[in-house]
Each structure stands twice: as C-alpha cells, then as structure tokens.
Amino acid sequence: MRTQVAIIGAGPAGLFLSLLLDRLGIASVIVELHTRDYIENRVRAGLLEYHTVQLMQELGVGGRVALEGLEHGGIELRFNGRGRRIDFRDLAAGKCVTIYAQHEVIKDLAAARLATGKPILFEARNAQLHAIDAERPYVTFHHNGVDERLDCDFIAGCDGFHGISRASVPAGVLTVYERDYPFGWLGILAQAPPASQELIYVHHHRGFALLSMRSPEISRLYLQCAPDEDLSLWPDDRIWSELHKRFATDDGWKLTEGPITQKAVTGMRSFVVEPMQAGRLFLAGDAAHIVPPTGAKGLNLAVADVRVLAAALGHFYSSGSPALLAQYSATCLRRVWKVQRFSWWMTQLLHRFPDNNPFDQRRQLADLDYLTGSRAASQSLAENYVGLPFR
C-alpha cells in the first residue's frame, strides 16, 4: 500500500486530520488498533471549545452537534457553599462552549471519513514505524490475517499517550516535561436530569467535585479521589453521599440522583514532549502531551495540533516548501504550554492537596474570590476556557 500521509490512530487527532487533509486533496490511510465499535463507545471527554465546534461545521460534520450539543454561555465556581457565575458570552466576545460527548464526535468524524471512501484500517495489530528519518518512511502492521506494509511521505502519530509513535523515536531526541498529581477523578454517568443547566466546579475541603452533563436526562459527575482509588469501595450510595456533601450550598440547592450507568477512575498528569517531530514523524494530541482534565482541554488541544499539521502539509504539497512543517513543533508548543498552564492552574486552584496546608487553602479561596470578583481575572479564565484564539 502507498499513501501520502499514514495516520496512526483514529481518535480525535487522527480523524480530524484525515478530514482536513481530504479537504486539501491529500491522501491518507488511518491505521487503528481497535474496532469501530470500541472507539465509538469509549466514554471520555465532553466539552468542546468554540473553535472545535466551528471546525466541525466547516468540515461538514456539524449537523448533530448543532442539534444535540448543549451550548453553555458560562460556568459556576462554587466555594464556601456559594456559587458565582463566570459569563463567557459577556467576557469572551460572545463565545460559548458546547457539551457533546467525545464518542459522539468520533461517530460523526468516522462516518464522514468512511463516506469519502478512504480507509480506516480497524483492528490493525502490531503497527511499527520504520525509516522515520528517511524520505520514504513506512509502517508495517497485521490486518485481516495479512502482514501489511504502508509506504508514505509522512507519518502522523495520533495514537494517544500509550501508542507506539512516541516510543518509536530514537532515545535522546525528545525531552519530556512532566508532573504527576497526588489525586485522580472518580467519574460517573447517571440517568438523572442535571441539577444545573451549566457546569459547576466545586472547591470543597473534602475535595474537588464537578457537575457536567451529556443530555437533559443524563448527568456526568466527577469527584476528586486517590489516584489509585479502588472502585469496589465506592458503592452508588457512597458516591451520592459524597457528592451531596461537596455540592452543598447555604440556600438548599439539591443535586438530582438517578441510576449510575458507568463508573471509572482517571489519573491526572501534565506531560509534554519536545519537539513534537522526529524526521518525517509528527506527533499530535495525547501522543505528544497530556493535561489534567480540570480545564477540559485534552480533546481540544489535539484538534489544535492537527489544524497546524494539516496547514503545514498543505503548504508542502502545494508549494514544495517544508518551511511550515519545520515550524510545526514550535507553532504547536506555544499553544500547548499555554493550555498546560491553564489546566495546571485550574487543577491547583480547585483540588485538595494531601498535605492540606492551611496556607494553601486560604490562598485558593482568595484566588477564587478574586477571580469571581474581578472582571480582569474572570475575563482571563473565560478567554482560556472557551479556547484561545489561533492568531
């Protein structure tokens, strides 16, 4: 097999890239480890930045998100038992965010990709990258009982944090910057109408909590837990009891309960590799960086990377100039580090740290008071939350 761009992974990064390239007339083949059913049902993120939704519209895959997505013009920050709203539409030039589950995005993108007649090779086992420093790199893998070889001009490593692309780069080329957090999130989906129309981020002395949703009937709730929390210690009634404590307000606000249909623990880390390129291999999305989920940025940052990559590849194929490809890593990293900063800042602002230093607690509360009382401070949060502009 031969193509122009071999894309490893059919997550948000790989699928968005394939549609962007298709629009530029650039051929690609997607090599994906799992089945279509698996990637279309994996429960993950749910919050789309303004620009991510706009891109879906531009690519002609915005029909369902426009109908079923929930537009949010603000969030609530709840601390000391009181809620304060941050109004994005007012503070971020009319912009808003949209709640629409990541696996629904995947369904829309995969359907559009397959409708172009170009392949997603599902259940491709043992993918390996070869000759990434040469003019003609290639990928080998096992598919439908056959050993395949895919020759290409470039490889896009879009295979997430645990994929093989980053691991294929020779030792000494990449520098890793990382930070672990001493907590994780226990996330649930519940058949319960969300108790609020907008997201609520809670600072509480028992630990952080977040109310989100997937539809007017389904709540998505998270609570801070240990990074290796044992889910068997969390029967449903304990989860609800803990959520009620953390969301409690002075004015008797009530969380709505319902049957829990999904439970999982997610660890948290900040991670970046530099550069995001090695020879003809370009890393994008979680393959190159991870953010803690507090700022809801993981998926959106993956999309931002592949916008840059598609433009650079388009420039290369139309002009023969590798200039934009050479700048790919530096261009992406400027945004990556701003998003890292924002995700770290939201995380340290809202979580309880194990040493529970009373100074830090007071400082967090002062920060929240300032943030919700100062237009300048809340505008900075709003600008980052809806998504930084691209230029």
Catalytic status, residue 119: no
* Of 297, 317, 328, 351, catalytic: 297
Residue 98 touches ligand DHB, criterion: CB under 6 A: no
Kindly state the tokens that stand for 24. Answer: 């530029």
How far apart CA 141 and CA 324 sit, in angstroms, is 30
- Among 3, 196, 270, 294, which residue interacts with ligand DHB (rule: CB under 6 A)? 294
The alpha helices in 77-116, defined as continuous H runs, are 88-91, 102-115
- For the bound state, the minimum distance from the C-beta of residue 298 to ligand FAD, rounded and expressed in Å, comes to 2
Burial class of residue 376, CB neighbours in 10 A (0-12, 13-18, 19+): exposed
* Cβ proximity to ligand FAD, 240 vs 342, nearer residue: 342
- For the bound state, the minimum distance from the C-beta of residue 301 to ligand FAD, rounded and expressed in Å, comes to 7
* Cβ proximity to ligand FAD, 34 vs 85, nearer residue: 34
* Cβ proximity to ligand FAD, 115 vs 167, nearer residue: 167
**What 3-state class would DSSP assign to 334?**
helix
- Among 234, 293, 317, 351, which residue interacts with ligand DHB (rule: CB under 6 A)? 293
Binding mask 257-276 for ligand FAD (x = CB under 6 A): ---------x----------
Kindly state the tokens that stand for 354. Answer: 């194990």
Torsion 43-49-55-58 (CA) sign: positive
8-state DSSP, 2: B
Which residue has the CB atom at the shortest distance from ligand DHB? 46
Catalytic status, residue 297: yes
Catalytic status, residue 351: no
Binding positions for ligand DHB, 36-75, rule CB under 6 A: 45-47
- Among 220, 289, 307, 352, which residue interacts with ligand DHB (rule: CB under 6 A)? 220
Is residue 313 a contact partner of residue 24, using CB atoms and an 8 Å limit? yes
Burial class of residue 23, CB neighbours in 10 A (0-12, 13-18, 19+): middle
Burial class of residue 171, CB neighbours in 10 A (0-12, 13-18, 19+): exposed
Cite the active site residues: 72, 201, 293, 297, 385
- The residue ranges that bind ligand FAD (CB under 6 A) are 8-14, 31-34, 39, 44-45, 102, 124, 127, 158-160, 163-164, 266, 285-286, 293, 296-299, 302
